[in-house]
Chain A
Amino acid sequence: MRCFFSAKWLIGVAIILVAVVLSGYFLSVNKSGRSVGGAAVLPSVVDYNFHIRPILSDKCFACHGPDKNAREADLRLDTEEGAYKALVETAGMHAIVPGHPDKSEAFLRITSEDETMRMPPMSSNLVLTTYEVKLIERWIEQGAVYKPHWAFTAPEKVAVPKVDDEHWPVNEIDHFVLARMGEKGFEPNPEAEKQHLLRRISFDLTGLPPNEDQLHRFMANRSVDSYEKMVDELIASPAYGERMAMHWLDVARYADSYGYQDDDIRTQWPWRDWVIHAFNGNMPYDRFVTWQLAGDMLPNATKEQVLASAFNRNHKITEEGGVIEEEYRVAYAIDKTNTFTKGILGITMECAQCHDHKYDPFSQKNYFQLYAFFNNSLEKGLEGLVDSGPSKTPRLTITQQDVEDILKFINKGGDTSAVSVSVMGERDEVRPTYILDRGLYDSPTERVYPGTPEAILSFDSAQYAPNRLGLAEWTFSKENPLTARVFVNQIWAMFFGRGLVATAADFGNQGELPSHPELLDWLAADFRDNGWDVKRLVKQLVMTATYRQSSRVTERHLRDDPENIYLARSKRLRLPAESIRDLALASSGLLNTEIGGPSIKPYQPDGIWEVTSSGRGSLANYVQDHGDALYRRGMYVFVKLTVPPPNMLIFDASNRDMCEVTRQRTNTPLQALVMLNDPVILEASRVLSGRLLMEEPEAPLETYLIRAFRRILSRDPSARELTLMEAYYKGELDRYEGEPDAARAFLAVGEAPEKPGVPLAEHAALMAAVHALYNLEEAITRT
């Protein structure tokens, strides 16, 4: 590939880009160029990155882009040289003639009346809208200026914009947000009510609802720093590490089984314990990722560093008899490559596995250069069939002594035997890597060596070793344009429900453009320049006035910004699957706050493992746990890859099949059925109602309802709500007094022991009322 994106050139472009940003240019262009909520209006200045590239990429690059093998008419439109040069097939013409749409063959072809001439061709099933054609016309009129892709130049801290309302912003982030809001004619929502704020930060920072004590303290504390104090308290709590790990387990496709065919158990959970530990200890992101990519290769690697490298062994591993080993060994290296590029670099490199990327400047050679870093592992394609053990070579054995001395964060749950984990280990002799034609293991072509895409940042072999450790150093080089942006964006999405780049796994040409480009760059540079400090970043986000806004939705919001791109409110977000379980357990008092250890098997509908199982291996039958294990947090629920926990999947949990960066957030009838009928929710209702009745046996109904509201919804009920709930309770009481058998049947759910002496009908009726509260939309939403 020609070195179009040379480092020198990049620096030059970066300077221009910064100049453009400083001139406030980004602020003046609307992402789509359409007037908000009205008819399309062409922007006065058409920008290549923001207006033209998305169109060309989506509609033209597949045949006139980076993939040389798919290129038609020897024309490429993704580079200036390609677009301006004389056309091969049409003598004397050029695809694009700056300033002259009428002389630009490309423009003439997209506007041709002749269907056989018109681009894109019918067979592509693609069409350009009139608006897109007009944009291209104006862009050519204005000189058809090309610019490098925004995400492939290193982020720099731009000046924080000035805003009229100096009182609103809490920190720099708010300046950027308020300025953008102003352009769109929005004003920020007022600050959310205190109880909503508490529930919001509690779920966002710990994945748990606030307890009654926190609620009481926070509501009673009138001091100005009460919010910050609570933020600090939550970030310092061990549950913070669990909450952050919830996201990382998706990125790292963590699971408790091997995933293919017989799908036997594996023990990667000590790695999961490490992730929680690392977040709680605020391990800087560069170290966090370096250990995971190459912990085993660090000088005098510790057991902890080797354990971290299990990240790259979390993918599915086959135990199917008769497979061709090499086919799977290659599949594992491909998975590692794809996880690294998607989860850490935020690009869709996997497209280049079979051919040059059709949209981004990544060749198939680039793909296999990256793949080469992961191709030197000691692992085998097939190490053994089902029942051959819960870890595979290379493995790390963790003894009881290790846990007592150095790996204190690993929870072996009282089991003193050693546990082994599949980790990374490097061959002494380098395994040669070849480009695999169409990505097939048995079609090697040209030999390649470890390297990275030039378009992102060339791999300087004088500076970096050609191995995973070198790759980690490259990843955290100050010049790397993606690493910081991508992580900051993932964390942003965690707290605001949507990334500044909505396609968190695709920062390439086909990805969405950032809604707040300068803010993203500022945050990324700030994060990078402050030691990749994750807790600092998290606190920065939740301290903003932006984050603290009320989530009240106005008609204007709905009409002009339903997705809340411009952040003039807080968005109400359905809780993640794990937190829904956690809400039920924590609010009822059932929650077992133990951290880490082997994953647990809670209540699950009968037969769903058995009916799909081959009958072989230790996971053929579901053997439910009992006692305290039933009340562990959602993140510890056992993930059998071929049959993931159904109540989790119904709430959009990742199936952990591959690296996943963004979960969906759907709203379906099956979710209603889970909340209505899952024994987890029913048992929590029984236990909480029993507890309320026992703790204050003579109290009026109102007291029970208020406490249930506080524990489940973290707020007091309104008078109207109390009236409604009292009526509901009384209806149920009436029924259960007349039908004691029904009351007993309703209460007979879950294994948590029943305290004696709770009056039967009252208990069943209050259980029904509590169950109703769990079924409110508000209960599983952070407001």
Chain B
Amino acid sequence: MNKDKVIEKEVEQARLYQNRRQFLSKLSIGIGSAALGSLLIPDLFSGKGTGGDRGVSMLPHFAPKAKRVIYLFQSGGVSQLESFDPKPKLREMMGEDLPESVRGGQRLTGMTASQATFPLVGSYYDFAQYGKSGAWVSSVFPYMANVVDDLCIIRSLHTDAINHDPAITFFQTGAQQGNRPSMGAWLSYGLGSENQNLPAFCVLVSKGRGNGQGVYAKLWTNGFLDSVHQGVQFMGGPDPVLYLSDPSGTDRISRRALFDKLAELNGLQFDAFGDPEITAKVQQYEMAYRMQTSVPEVTDLAKEPDHIIKLYGPDCLVPGTYAANCLLARKLSENGVRFVQLYHQGWDQHDSLPGQMALQAKDVDQASAALVTDLKQRGLLDETLVIWGGEFGRTNYCQGNLAYNNYGRDHHPRCFSVWMAGGGIKPGVVYGETDEFGYNIIKDPVHVHDFHATILHQLGLDHEKLTYRHLGRRYRLTDVAGTIVKDILV
């Protein structure tokens, strides 16, 4: 293109832009918050769905400790017995049957229900104590062991479900069955986004090398909330958000010309019909245009400095890996995304646990710890709540054939370990206690509803007041239960 032509184009662009501005100002469009949804502050004050409640119209309910959440979900059910809850007794009793008194009528999955015996099995890996807190961590997590003084390890999580689908759904939505809103959708609904150009609720998915069970779009569903609160999945490929990239053979100038033309034509339609939906549509196109600029900027990991790449490990430059997703999560969160939900698949070790778990751990250990360190260095850990854990634990007895270096563990809902960091949670703490068999909780149980109540609390939300009225009933993330775990709060 010759120089004159370029100048001519720029003049024309300026003129078009002027027209567009005039059009917009003529309509005096306020930001249609209802229409923008999770990309802005949601429709808090219309009273829609909440009529007369003391709930959503007064958000947040009190001063928040955390502004944002990054949830590193370890899908499949990480074994607590090979991670954060050492049980020497199981090594001593290797191969002996689980006493019926310990099992206490616990229901079993169909995979081990028909097993004649339940031989106990100790961890293949050794444990050691780390940091000032002296928390025990197994040898497969050397990086996390190094940041243990920043973590609050809860050993006493328990859940109602014993199969993957209902258990993950329970963790994400507060109910095992049914199309309820995901935690991120609740936060988008309750708090909106801090960034007008990014969704409030982003989802990142990766696969590990162990036995995986898949994840489901219903885990990041808006349920009965407005669909603008649905999680937006970020992908590893060329389109970080679906449909984000301009068509081939177009450029930003040609897109700008298109948007301006659309605004003018839509304006004519508005003149004819007076429907405010038309002006809202024009605004949505402007928002889309801004997202097309802001999302690639945020998702471009190549510009990260060497020390950051080193911190997360070389995998973080491979799109779609857990490490890359951890780094991306930091960037999204730093840019104001309210809830970043990662899923890493592959933690379902029904057999070959010693081999598989080492691979799984290798893929997540460094980047998980790096995220905590990175946030801390940036002064963001105080206001960002990081969570690491799966949907249930694993049995203390072996599923299938037992050898000291090869065994499997079935699903166990009664106790498992999860850690939290930052966001007003006490660092360097181990909370809750299980019995010497690693089967039952003996101190400070934390149910999934309690876990949800605590997270909402840190974000300044009263879990009993964050409600949405749907088909006649006021729904909560915590259903009709949930107690805040005050002991772990700073």
A768 within 8 A of B: yes
Contacts of A509 on B, CB cut-off 8 Å?
Answer: 472
User: What residue in chain A is nearest B55 (Cβ atoms)?
Assistant: A125
Contacts of A721 on B, CB cut-off 8 Å?
Answer: 265, 268
Q: Is the CB of A322 within 8 A of B291?
A: no
CA distance A177 to B358 in the complex (A): 70
CA distance A454 to B425 in the complex (A): 52
* Interface membership of chain A positions 737-754, coded 1 if the CB is closer than 8 angstroms to chain B and 0 otherwise: 011011111111100000
B406 within 8 A of A: no
Q: Is the CB of B242 within 8 A of A612?
A: no
CA distance A732 to B251 in the complex (A): 11
Q: Which residue of A324, A671, A677, A724 contacts B261 across the interface (Cβ within 8 Å)?
A: A724
Interface-facing stretch out of B106-114, B136-144, B306-314: B106-114
Q: Is the CB of B54 within 8 A of A672?
A: no
User: What residue in chain A is nearest B8 (Cβ atoms)?
Assistant: A734
Q: Is the CB of A745 within 8 A of B285?
A: no
Residues A776 and B472 in contact in the complex (CB < 8 Å), given A667-B277, A669-B288? no
Q: Which residue of A58, A261, A360, A743 contacts B213 across the interface (Cβ within 8 Å)?
A: A261
CA distance A764 to B235 in the complex (A): 30
Q: Is the CB of B235 within 8 A of A611?
A: yes
Interface-facing stretch out of B181-189, B215-223, B367-375: B215-223
**B292 CB, min distance to chain A CBs, angstroms:** 8
Q: Is the CB of A682 within 8 A of B247?
A: yes
Q: Which of A558, A670, A747 has the most CB of B within 10 A?
A: A670
Interface-facing stretch out of B32-40, B85-93, B150-158: B32-40
Q: Is the CB of A612 within 8 A of B217?
A: yes
A728 within 8 A of B: yes
CA distance A360 to B162 in the complex (A): 33
Q: Which residue of A321, A551, A643 contacts B216 across the interface (Cβ within 8 Å)?
A: A643
Q: Is the CB of A673 within 8 A of B228?
A: no
Contacts of A261 on B, CB cut-off 8 Å?
Answer: 164-165, 213-214
Q: Is the CB of A738 within 8 A of B163?
A: no
CA distance A9 to B30 in the complex (A): 54
Q: Is the CB of A646 within 8 A of B242?
A: yes
A364 within 8 A of B: no
User: What residue in chain B is nearest A381 (Cβ atoms)?
Assistant: B110
Q: Which of A262, A745, A768 has the most CB of B within 10 A?
A: A768
Residues A127 and B473 in contact in the complex (CB < 8 Å), given A666-B35, A738-B1? no
Q: Is the CB of B37 within 8 A of A359?
A: no
B52 within 8 A of A: yes
**A259 CB, min distance to chain B CBs, angstroms:** 8
**A598 CB, min distance to chain B CBs, angstroms:** 22
B230 within 8 A of A: yes
Number of interface residues of A (CB under 8 A): 109
Q: Is the CB of A777 within 8 A of B269?
A: yes
A554 within 8 A of B: yes
A621 within 8 A of B: no
B202 within 8 A of A: no
**A719 CB, min distance to chain B CBs, angstroms:** 11
B278 within 8 A of A: yes
Residues A747 and B249 in contact in the complex (CB < 8 Å), given A261-B165, A643-B216, A670-B243? yes
Contacts of B230 on A, CB cut-off 8 Å?
Answer: 649
Contacts of B239 on A, CB cut-off 8 Å?
Answer: 605
In chain B, positions 160-174 with a C-beta closer than 8 Å to chain A are 162-165
B453 within 8 A of A: no
Q: Which residue of A574, A612, A667 contacts B214 across the interface (Cβ within 8 Å)?
A: A612
A23 within 8 A of B: no
Q: Is the CB of B248 within 8 A of A772?
A: no
CA distance A262 to B163 in the complex (A): 13
Q: Is the CB of B243 within 8 A of A673?
A: yes
B280 within 8 A of A: yes
CA distance A56 to B215 in the complex (A): 42
Q: Which residue of B52, B215, B236, B266 contacts A59 across the interface (Cβ within 8 Å)?
A: B52
Q: Which residue of A682, A739, A744, A772 contacts B258 across the interface (Cβ within 8 Å)?
A: A772
Q: Which residue of B55, B177, B243, B471 contacts A676 across the interface (Cβ within 8 Å)?
A: B243
Contacts of B405 on A, CB cut-off 8 Å?
Answer: none
Q: Is the CB of B473 within 8 A of A510?
A: yes
**A200 CB, min distance to chain B CBs, angstroms:** 13
Q: Is the CB of A657 within 8 A of B218?
A: yes
Q: Is the CB of B237 within 8 A of A607?
A: yes
Q: Is the CB of A606 within 8 A of B237?
A: yes
Q: Is the CB of A508 within 8 A of B248?
A: no
CA distance A31 to B241 in the complex (A): 44
Contacts of B285 on A, CB cut-off 8 Å?
Answer: 669, 672, 775
User: What residue in chain A is nearest B161 (Cβ atoms)?
Assistant: A327
A331 within 8 A of B: yes
Q: Is the CB of B464 within 8 A of A125?
A: yes
Q: Which residue of A351, A643, A736, A742 contacts B472 across the interface (Cβ within 8 Å)?
A: A351
Contacts of A508 on B, CB cut-off 8 Å?
Answer: 472
B226 within 8 A of A: yes
B365 within 8 A of A: no
Q: Is the CB of B275 within 8 A of A572?
A: yes
* Interface membership of chain A positions 140-164, coded 1 if the CB is closer than 8 angstroms to chain B and 0 otherwise: 0000000000000000000000000
A402 within 8 A of B: no
* Interface membership of chain A positions 294-327, coded 1 if the CB is closer than 8 angstroms to chain B and 0 otherwise: 0000000000000000000000001011111100
Q: Which residue of B109, B227, B262 contacts A652 across the interface (Cβ within 8 Å)?
A: B227
Q: Is the CB of B110 within 8 A of A321?
A: yes
Q: Is the CB of B249 within 8 A of A746?
A: yes
CA distance A487 to B107 in the complex (A): 43
Contacts of B213 on A, CB cut-off 8 Å?
Answer: 261, 614
CA distance A781 to B178 in the complex (A): 31
Q: Which residues of A contact B (CB under 8 A)?
A: 57-59, 125-129, 132, 260-263, 318, 320-325, 331, 348, 351, 358-360, 382, 442, 503, 505-506, 508-511, 551-555, 558, 572, 574, 605-608, 611-615, 641-644, 646-647, 649, 652, 655, 657-658, 664, 666-674, 676-678, 682, 718, 720-721, 724-725, 727-728, 731-732, 735-736, 738-739, 741-749, 764, 768, 771-772, 775-778, 781, 783
| A-B pairs with beta carbons under 8 Å apart, 20 shown | A57-B472, A125-B55, A132-B52, A322-B110, A322-B411, A551-B273, A606-B237, A607-B235, A612-B216, A649-B227, A666-B228, A667-B281, A669-B287, A670-B288, A672-B284, A682-B247, A725-B265, A728-B258, A742-B249, A777-B266
Please provide the 6 A-B residue pairs with the shortest distance between their CB atoms, ordered closest to farther: A510-B472, A746-B249, A745-B249, A322-B109, A322-B111, A614-B214
Sample of 8 more A-B contacts, CB < 8 Å, known A553-B275, A611-B207, A777-B281? A503-B471, A510-B471, A605-B235, A607-B320, A611-B206, A611-B236, A642-B216, A666-B228
